[in-house]
A and B are shown apart, each in its own frame.
Chain A
């Protein structure tokens, strides 16, 4: 979904750049509450992980391929504000260092793949977490649903931008059907990877999962021969 230069017209690209800059500025402000001395490297690690995940191109139907976006994974692991920053950093580095995604389309890419996926992914996650009981299972279910919905949402927003500033003469309906159809499948892959990664990190280091902070930490249970016999 990395939009190259020239795919959307100049005004749309600039408008998206303004929205992206505002979104990143708000996230910077919000991330001050999430980031501390210890979590700055964690943010870098999450970004590196998202970077690796986005490199995984897998073939989807009819000769096209897609890659994972990772917005929900980032938000659940490190919090929504810093999640936006992490995915945006990945996109900046890809555009400047790897020529993946146009520099003039950076705003478009940040809006699509960072703001939309994190807002939708985290929104769904928070909703599910509020409804289901406070267990680790709910955190995993929430991140799976968030990931599954965030990818088609990004595809819908992409189609909207395309309808406003697309440079090709294809009906919006065709683009919408293609993009959403494709990204529902990618969303399933994203949900699988997100769910399995979150659950395995939860199993060993629950303190590293921002979305599970509301769960009370397990108390250390010291078993002496007497308590073991009583139990």
Chain B
């Protein structure tokens, strides 16, 4: 019994990392129609910045903050680079795929090719007695952060004027301009914040997934699958998609490790066949 509960908690905590990872991607793809393949690189940058700073004696909480800022800055640069591509997804794909390699090589030069073991804060070491079982504190912390971020993003989308504007742009981009909303400013803020959250997913989730050359592509794949399963443009969809993929991945790895990738794409295929717009999404134009 406690085995199953542990498995479920593992799936959910992994799902929360996926949620942090994909929240920004689903918003920029679903609302701004920007296809950004460097999104996985933000995870890498977040993880490496945390690793390097902590290694050089910086307080871990500060290192997390710096990781978020650094990836937000990366996001700003990528956003500026994307401007001339307009709405051309092919050009966006080629451009961001190129930037992905630039970031990966830069990381290789600066950090090196050895896998980085990411630090955890001391008070989150060890396990917490949940009654039925002892469970790692750090994973519970990830669940709390993931749910907290989901709450924050919901609040932003439904309770702030900027969030309403974002939803207005999703509804009718041209008419949104017609009532005075500047879509470029909105897109820039969304992109940069989304990159920062992906950086946080690297800083926190790197403990689970590792930080090594190639992890950027690996998590990009995860993020794209989550966005497709959940439905582009929806925070709720990203949350649902993350938990579904977290479950599928964790359960398959536990019982048939060889099928992990297959099962994930199997779910994606099923969703694309039965509900192409994703769990909560609207059809992409």
A complexed with B: no
